[in-house]
């Protein structure tokens, strides 16, 4: 784990042009005057005969003479003092250095400018004197920046193991030398380049993340939570009394339930790989950041339908939230044939409100685009959906799984069904391009926790801008998968009623929000066509819903990730009959999405 961070200055924390275009010209301009005024000072005497000519020549030839450096330092100090010079430091660098310092990293500088000049620079930034960030400074008196030996010397002096030190520089040659000494490296590549050196690359300091990351376990979590006073008080008692269980039954992350003497809370932490598969399938920790952002948005729009948020630790990819208890995962409840009187209302509202409030029907174009930017980096999670939902079920993909032999024929027909494959790809294209609203992205019955009366949606780590019908279709698909899995006619009836009620409540709620809107750049209010516009918009959402519902059903039967509703049917032949029926139905939905006009026809 990284413990110390050593940074270069020029081109890394500060612009190259500051030194070349501001500092050096300033020294050139003011040195002669200073020398004339202080001809008898020891610093000027150290230059020797004809000091002005000599200094000017050294500067022209970029000589690293100590006497020159000393005098430059004096002149710069005066410039800083008078306010004529303000040291340049990138805001992203300063913010990150402060964050790292506060997190407990030890920070050092290694730059070719003299130590005195380094201290001057960090002592006179627009943000004031920030030298308190650093525990030590190194310049070329310890050795050249292109020699591994210099880094070894620094390492011995600061007393960390080589692999505990991170070196930041804009120069690949310097990074190569540091790497030779066993250090970790990040290349600050602020200006685009096609070269791909063997160093982690970052455009700005803000991109250097997760340095403090470590996966939590039941032994390390108490001390971490105890550091956060509010959380410790919330839990009650002392850390030794807290009961911690890891309950992550999901495919990707760690989930801990922490019981204090007063209250409980839930800690969710991302792992740098897919939990279900292991380290061979890496997955970015940043998904925790997107999940948190989506939860913040949902807490704003539907606070009673999502867990409350207590803390987000970006560096640990960890979120502390409300512990839902005695809630259970909806899928388990559906398998147990439980009826939930408020479920359709809650999920209909959850979808309508979150999708409406993040769409162009409500936001201004600028607000919407800014929100899209926040989620634009969640590409790895989107790729999972793009591959697993829209493509893999329709060819012989290595990760496909199906109930063989009952579904062997179905698999063959999926791979040769050109109209179906085209339709799935049209839906994929819409998912890729039609950024209508912030979707939950994974809204299935395993992402919902319920009691008889309450409903909470969890796990929006796939959060991304997508067609509005995407979430709606995914959720209805999971109700229908449950429908196909059951044999009990009464419960099946209840599930169909859920499909109908959920759609109707979603459509009603969405319509009410749309008709009452006072903002939103799409379908301009000035044109007075709100009613007619709503009809068109709902028709599009409906078509998309049917399409996404269909592809979700198919991929949950023949793709990588299956649903327990069907998997728990022990008799493979019986399961096969049900699965084949579901797939035939899904195909009709996908191909008929333009001709099936209402929920009654679906039922
Ligand atoms: P993953 O993204 O890895 O699938 P989930 O967010 O779905 O993780 O959580 C995994 C499991 O942890 C859930 O199925 C649920 O049992 C439990 N869980 C998640 N969040 C909470 C919470 N806020 N309160 C109680 N249990 C939770
Ligand atoms: Mg998840």
Task: Output the CA 582–ligand 2 centroid distance in Å.
Answer: 24
Cα(484) to centroid of ligand 1, in Å? 25
User: pLDDT grade, residue 270 (50/70/90)?
Assistant: very high
Q: What is the pLDDT of residues 95-139, one digit of tens each?
A: 999 999 998 999 999 998 889 999 999 999 999 999 999 999 999
Tokens at residue 59, please?
């500067």
Is residue 599 over pLDDT 80? yes
CA-nearest residue for atom 8, ligand 1, is 250
* Protein residues whose CB sits closer than 6 Å to any atom of ligand 1: 247-253, 255, 257, 266, 268, 307, 321-324, 329, 458-459, 461
* Cα 432 from Cα 307, distance rounded (Å): 29
Q: Please give the average per-residue pLDDT across 546-551, as a whole number.
A: 98
- CB contact burial 513-525 (16+ within 10 A = b; e otherwise): bbeeeeebebbee
Report residue 195's pLDDT band, with 50, 70 and 90 as the boundaries.
Answer: low
HEC readout, 228-280: CHHHHHHHCCCHHHCEEEECCCCCCCEEEEEECCCCEEEEEECCCEECCCEEE
The ligand that comes nearest to the alpha carbon of residue 446 is 1
pLDDT digits (tens, 9 = 90+) for 232-264: 999 999 999 999 999 987 678 999 999 999 999
Distance in Å from the first CA to the final CA of the chain: 56
- Rounded Cα distance, 493 and 479, in Å: 11
**Looking at 22-26, 189-193, 299-303, which range is the least confident one?**
189-193
Max distance between CA atoms of the chain, in angstroms, equals: 105
Distance (angstroms) between ligand 2 centre and the Cα of 378 equals 13
Give distance in angstroms: CA of 462 to centre of ligand 1.
14
Ligand nearest to the CA of residue 321, numbered in listed order: 1
Ligand 1, closest atom to CA 254? 3
User: Which single residue is written with the structure tokens 């679906």?
Assistant: 602
Nearest to 547 by CA among 593, 596, 496: 593
Tokens coding 233:
């008080």
pLDDT greater than 80 at residue 192: no
Residue 275 has a pLDDT of 86
Q: Could you write out the DSSP letters of every residue in 79-132?
A: HHHHTS--B---HHHHHHHHHHHHHT-EEEEE-SS-HHHHHHHHHSBTTB--GG
Q: How far is the CA of 301 from the centre of ligand 1 (A)?
A: 21
Summarize pLDDT for 387-419 with one digit per residue, the tens.
Answer: 999 999 999 999 999 999 999 999 999 999 999
Q: Which ligand is nearest to the CA of 250?
A: 1
Give pLDDT, residue 488: 98
Binning pLDDT at 50, 70 and 90, where does residue 62 land? confident
- pLDDT tens sequence across 210-238: 888 999 999 999 999 999 999 999 999 99
Question: H helices of 559-594, where?
Answer: 564-567, 572-591
Give the nearest ligand 1 atom to 253 CA.
Answer: 3
């Amino acid at each position: 784990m990284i413990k110390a961070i050593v940074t270069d200055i020029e081109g890394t924390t500060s612009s190259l042009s500051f030194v070349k275009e501001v500092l050096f010209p300033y020294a050139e301009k003011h040195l002669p005057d200073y020398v004339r005024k202080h001809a008898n000072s020891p610093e000027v005497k150290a230059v020797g005969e004809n000091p002005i000519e000599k200094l000017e020549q050294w500067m022209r030839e970029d000589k690293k003479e100590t006497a020159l450096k000393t005098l430059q330092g004096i002149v710069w100090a005066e410039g800083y003092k008078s306010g004529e010079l303000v040291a340049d430091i990138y805001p992203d660098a300063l913010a990150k250095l402060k964050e790292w310092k506060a997190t407990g990293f030890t920070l050092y500088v290694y730059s070719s400018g003299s130590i005195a000049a380094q201290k001057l620079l960090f002592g006179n930034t627009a943000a004031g004197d920030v030298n308190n960030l650093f525990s030590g400074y190194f310049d070329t008196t310890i050795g050249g920046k292109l020699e591994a030996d210099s880094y070894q010397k620094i390492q011995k002096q600061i007393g960390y193991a080589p692999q505990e030190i991170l070196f930041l520089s804009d120069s690949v040659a310097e990074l190569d030398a540091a790497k030779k000494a066993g250090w970790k490296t990040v290349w600050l590549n602020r200006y685009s380049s096609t070269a791909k050196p063997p160093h982690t690359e970052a455009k700005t300091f803000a991109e250097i993340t997760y340095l403090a990351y470590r996966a939590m376990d039941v032994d390390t979590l108490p001390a971490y939570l105890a550091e956060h006073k509010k959380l410790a008080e919330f839990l009650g008692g002392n850390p030794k009394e807290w009961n911690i269980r890891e309950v992550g039954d999901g495919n990707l992350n760690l989930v801990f339930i922490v019981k204090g003497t007063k209250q409980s809370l839930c800690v969710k932490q991302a792992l740098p790989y897919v939990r279900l598969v292991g380290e061979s399938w890496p997955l970015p920790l940043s998904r925790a950041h997107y999940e948190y952002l989506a939860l913040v948005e949902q807490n704003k729009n539907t606070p009673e339908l999502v867990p409350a948020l207590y803390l987000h630790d970006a560096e640990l990819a960890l979120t502390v939230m409300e512990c839902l208890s005695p809630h259970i995962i909806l899928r388990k409840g559906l398998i147990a044939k439980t009826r939930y009187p408020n479920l359709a209302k809650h999920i209909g509202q959850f979808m309508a409100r979150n999708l409406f409030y993040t769409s162009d029907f409500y936001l201004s174009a600028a607000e919407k685009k800014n929100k899209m930017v926040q989620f634009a980096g969640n590409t790895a999670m989107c790729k999972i959906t793009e591959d697993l939902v829209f493509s893999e079920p329709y060819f012989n993909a290595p990760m496909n799984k199906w109930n063989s032999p009952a579904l062997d024929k179905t698999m063959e027909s999926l791979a040769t069904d050109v109209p179906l494959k085209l339709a799935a790809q049209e839906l994929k294209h819409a998912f890729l391009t039609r950024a209508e609203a912030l979707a939950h992205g994974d809204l299935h019955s395993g992402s919902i926790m319920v009691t008889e009366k309450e409903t909470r949606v969890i796990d929006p780590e796939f959060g991304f801008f997508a067609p509005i019908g995407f979430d709606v279709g995914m959720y209805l698909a999971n109700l229908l998968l449950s429908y196909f899995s059951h044999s009990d006619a009464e419960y099946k009836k209840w599930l169909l009623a859920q499909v109908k009620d959920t759609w109707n409540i979603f459509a009603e709620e969405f319509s009410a929000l749309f008709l009452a809107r006072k903002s939103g750049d799409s379908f301009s209010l000035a044109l007075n066509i709100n009613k007619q516009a709503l009809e068109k918009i709902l028709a599009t959402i409906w078509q998309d819903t049917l399409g996404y519902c269909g592809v979700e059903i198919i991929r949950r039967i023949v793709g990588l990730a299956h649903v327990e509703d069907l998997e728990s049917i022990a008799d493979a032949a019986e399961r096969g009959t049900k699965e084949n029926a579901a797939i035939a139905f899904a195909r009709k939905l996908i191909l008929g999405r333009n001709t099936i006009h209402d929920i009654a026809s679906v039922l």
